[in-house]
Every structure is written in C-alpha cells, then in structure tokens.
Amino acid sequence: MIVTIEIIAAPGCRKRADAQVDLRAIAVSLLGENNIAWREINVLEALDYAVSLGVLSIPAIAINGRLKFSSLPTPKQFKTELSRLVTC
C-alpha cells in the first residue's frame, strides 16, 4: 500500500522546510521508503486543490487525499497519525 503524503505550503515557507526532514524520516521509519509518495504542493499553483481539501491555513498536511493537519504537526502527532495507517 502506497501512502500519499502531501505538504501544502507557500514557496519558501521556512516552517515547512525545517519540519519536512523530520516528518519524512518518521514516515520512512514507519512505512518504508518504497511505500510513500511524498508530494510538496505549492498552494499558489494548486489553490483549487487546496480549497477542495479544506485547507484554511498553511502549511498543512494531507494523507491519502484527506486533510489531516491544518498546521504542522509535532513529530509525535505525525507518528501517531501514520501509526493508524499501519494498524489498519
């Protein structure tokens, strides 16, 4: 099962850049590199898509096409959410 993780942010968003390394490492440790489709969505280029997800603030994270975090989660929150996918 491939899990799609999308970070919706504005170009140059420092918060996203700083957190992305940690969040991606968590995803790889739980799901494996080959089971993740990691996408960075530029909200300025994909505004309609962001709105369809319900994004009201950025950066936000969607997992498998559903908005899961309307702001950057802590590593613990992100790990908890991904752990739910592993146990399902």
62 in a structural domain: yes
Print the domain residue range for 24: 3-82
Number of domains, the chain: 1
CB-based contact 52:67 (threshold 8 Å): no
**pLDDT tens digits for the chain (88 residues)?**
899 999 999 888 776 677 788 999 999 999 999 999 999 999 999 999 999 999 999 899 999 999 999 998 999 999 999 998 877 5
44 CB-contact burial (10 Å; exposed 0-12 / middle 13-18 / buried 19+): exposed
Name the helix (H) or strand (E) containing 80: helix 75-87
Q: Whole-model pTM?
A: 0.89
Structure tokens at 13: 């968003």
| Per-residue 3-state assignment (H helix, E strand, C coil) for 13-43 | CHHHHHHHHHHHHHHHHHHCHHHEEEEEEEC
Residues 45, 1: Cα–Cα separation, whole Å:
28
CB-based contact 20:7 (threshold 8 Å): yes
27 in a structural domain: yes
25 in a structural domain: yes
54 in a structural domain: yes
